[in-house]
A and B are shown apart, each in its own frame.
Chain A
Amino acid sequence: MLIRGGRVIDPSQGIDRHTDVWIANGRIAFLGDGREMLQQQPSGPPPRILDVPGCVVAPGFLDVHTHLREPGFEYQETIASGLAAAAAGGFTGVAAMANTQPVNDHPAVTELMLRRAAAVGGTRLYPIGAVSAGLAGKELSEIGSMHEAGIVALSDDGLPVMNARLMRRAMEYGRMFNLPVLSHCEDQGLAAGGVMHEGVVSTALGLPGVPEAAENVMVYRDIQLAAMTGAHVHIQHVSTAEAVKLIRRAKAQDIRVTAEACPHHFTLTHEAIQQYDTNTKINPPLRTAEDVEAIKAGLQDGTIDIIASDHAPHHVTEKEQDYESAPSGIIGLETSVGLSLELYHQGVLSLAQLIAKFTIHPARLLGTARGTLAVGSPADVTIIAPDQTFVVDVASLHSQSRNTPFLGWQLRGTAVATIVDGNLIFERL
């Protein structure tokens, strides 16, 4: 395959130039002038040519925070529908969280997820193993055998590991296998009953709030545990200005901490909840304009390494309950790239900075050699059109669920082609 006429940006190699990408045998064969490559092509069937003028050709995008809901909640999403949504959103790989039913706390579940994903083909699935058995926060899950089965990180995401001693042991034990711990930072005592950011809007709406401190105290705890154990802790879905500060300071102290932010947390504030739209109910909650600015600043200066979707499908009947009863979470795989490109349009991030947060940084977290266009690497490629309008509507979504506050939005920029191992798995060129 020849990808011709695009602007190739690969932060892993510091490349940003107009050139062509030649793919052979599922790997990146050559970056350079496509005409030369075509002339050198031995006889045989002509290669597939993708002409992508005006587009950006990047390593395959990775989403480190996805809920695929299978096994157990197939009415919300299946591995097949979730991976289809991922491909349509420009992702060549997604990390699937462990809060399935049964929980991914055992190699049998890990193997099932990988087998299903392989049968579906397309976007790759990176399983995340639970920290604790049954996400109960009491004892460690089968970490070693899950590692053998293919997990790439540990997380009880959705629930915090409240017991600091268990968290310490998970970090120590996971470190033997180079498994980072992805932490959902929320003090359950402080957050109890809360359904939105605690502040003037929650007071006006009469909804119970989650104070920022619920996140901050846990971010600080996990940074301290990472410093103590030498383990790699990754702070998920940063939502507060103070958390950004704590992470910035920890990085300056060379503590092994990385962090992700979700598009909704740098796009919307708690003001979006005014009409009690349950598609604005997310955990951690939408916070203030100051928090949004702090997250953007954290993305800009590198404090926040990764942009992740926290794709969390819920059935429409679950979201049509009252605000307090409705489950938290929104789908994000198909809006993540478009919403994030707004940071480029606003001048917050260069395209190279933005792409690094979807490619080489997530690849390092997940311990995969992908996330690069280095010659010889598996040919995972995401092609984006930064100025092409993408309207979020029900008909355009591939996810089985529809729970997004961005329905009807016109996003500036979208992924237009997704290539995994040299196979074009999605395109809207």
Chain B
Amino acid sequence: MLIHASPHEVHEIDHVEDTIDFRGRDLLGMEDFTAAEIAAILDTVASFKEISERDIKKVPTLRGKTVINLFFEPSTRTRTSFEIAGKRLSADVINISVSNSSMSKGESLRDTADNLAAMRTDALIVRHKSAGVPHMLARYLPSPVINAGDGAHEHPTQALLDLYTIREKLGTLAGRRALIVGDIASSRVARSNIIAMRKMGMQVSVCAPLTMLPVGIEKWGVDYTSDFDAALQDVDVVMMLRIQRERHGDVLFPSLQEYSSRYCLTSARMRRAKSEVLVMHPGPMNRGVEIAPEVADGLESVILQQVTNGVALRMAVLYLIIGGV
């Protein structure tokens, strides 16, 4: 078993870089990337996915690079995924978790950025409950910033891993129909996916109670409906979003029971969908609320493959942005 990337793989990756150079770039949102760039990132993932299947899951690609995982908001999955991705590439990954309350009253974002810059970090991965924080940090930091989720704004690596998973399963993206269901208005996963999917030529619909559709959704080039059963027909991908009972103290629906009766992806509802539909969920799931356990664990579900691909996608992103010399 090799413990570093084969020369052949490196050559392929170099070839991608010849056309599109990601080195030093921030990854703040899908808004900033073209279809060709998104395709180039997805094309890089497979070779990194292979590393995770090895007995010794480590290559020296980013040895000597320092990557900071700065999480202002609790996260298990995304933080761990980035950490594993960095470590499998031999980067030194430092996790910093800041509780929202202590940070928002103390050090300014500018001081945070200045201190990280002074420590000569190579990349900053940041999650924050407030939209725009990665963008503000990127203005002050010379090294690249990767957005790991900012408020209700964007979560670009999630959209990329979702696209990779869809492409892996269905072969192509263009012309495929995706349905995203749940709290669209406050979902960064929905925003990044809508933007990225449309750039890749997919048709996107969203489905939610009207209280969860954002103002101006009609300008987003997506179909929207509150009728889940009708929306499920003819889609290739159905992506369920986690439901939070309350948002900003806002009551968005009468009860979880009523929400589930209308918007839970159950096996009964699955019969309305195409037999080969992909069931996706960015996690963490509320089993029995937005997705029935038997569907989450069913044959159509690619939820755990999303998680596996998330590590490979994040390895690819780190490699493209701070790897190579």
Contact = CB atoms under 8 A, between A and B. Distances in A.
A207 B216 CA distance: 13
A266 B219 CA distance: 25
Interface string A64-97: 0000000000000000000000000000000000
A207 B104 contact: no
Nearest to A207: B131
B215 interface: yes
A317 B108 contact: yes
B281 interface: no
Interface stretch (A191-199, A291-299, A376-384, A401-409): A191-199
Interface residues of A, number: 23
B150 A206 contact: yes
A203 B131 CA distance: 11
Contacts of B152: 206-208
Nearest to B151: A206
A198 B128 CA distance: 21
Interface stretch (A25-33, A157-165, A321-329, A417-425): A321-329
Interface stretch (B11-19, B57-65, B132-140): B132-140
B162 interface: no
B216 A199 contact: yes
Contact of A276 (B104, B135, B188, B215): B135
A202 B132 CA distance: 11
A207 B152 CA distance: 7
A174 B290 CA distance: 55
A38 interface: no
Contacts of A275: 135, 139
A40 B220 CA distance: 74
A192 B248 contact: yes
Contact of A203 (B133, B150, B151, B214): B214
Nearest to A322: B130
B216 A203 contact: yes
Contacts of B153: 205-207
A284 interface: no
- How would you classify the secondary structure of chain B's contact residues: helix, strand, loop or mixed? mixed
Contacts of B191: 204, 206
A48 to B, nearest CB: 47
B136 A322 contact: yes
A389 to B, nearest CB: 28
B108 A320 contact: yes
Interface string A13-49: 0000000000000000000000000000000000000
Interface in B123-159: 128-133, 135-136, 139, 150-154
B110 interface: yes
Contacts of A320: 108-111
Contacts of B150: 206
B171 interface: no
A275 B139 CA distance: 10
Nearest to A198: B215
Nearest to B154: A206
Interface in A307-326: 317, 320-325
Interface in A164-211: 192-193, 198-200, 202-209, 211
From B111, B130, B139, B151, residue with most partner A Cβ within 10 Å: B130
Interface in B81-107: 104
Contact of A323 (B130, B154, B220): B130
B217 A203 contact: yes
Nearest to A194: B248
B215 A199 contact: yes
A323 B185 CA distance: 18
A322 B188 contact: no
A90 B188 CA distance: 46
16 contacts: A193-B249, A202-B215, A203-B216, A205-B153, A206-B131, A206-B132, A206-B151, A206-B152, A206-B188, A207-B153, A320-B110, A320-B111, A322-B104, A322-B136, A324-B130, A324-B151
Interface of B: 31, 104, 108-111, 128-133, 135-136, 139, 150-154, 185, 188, 191, 214-217, 219-220, 248-250
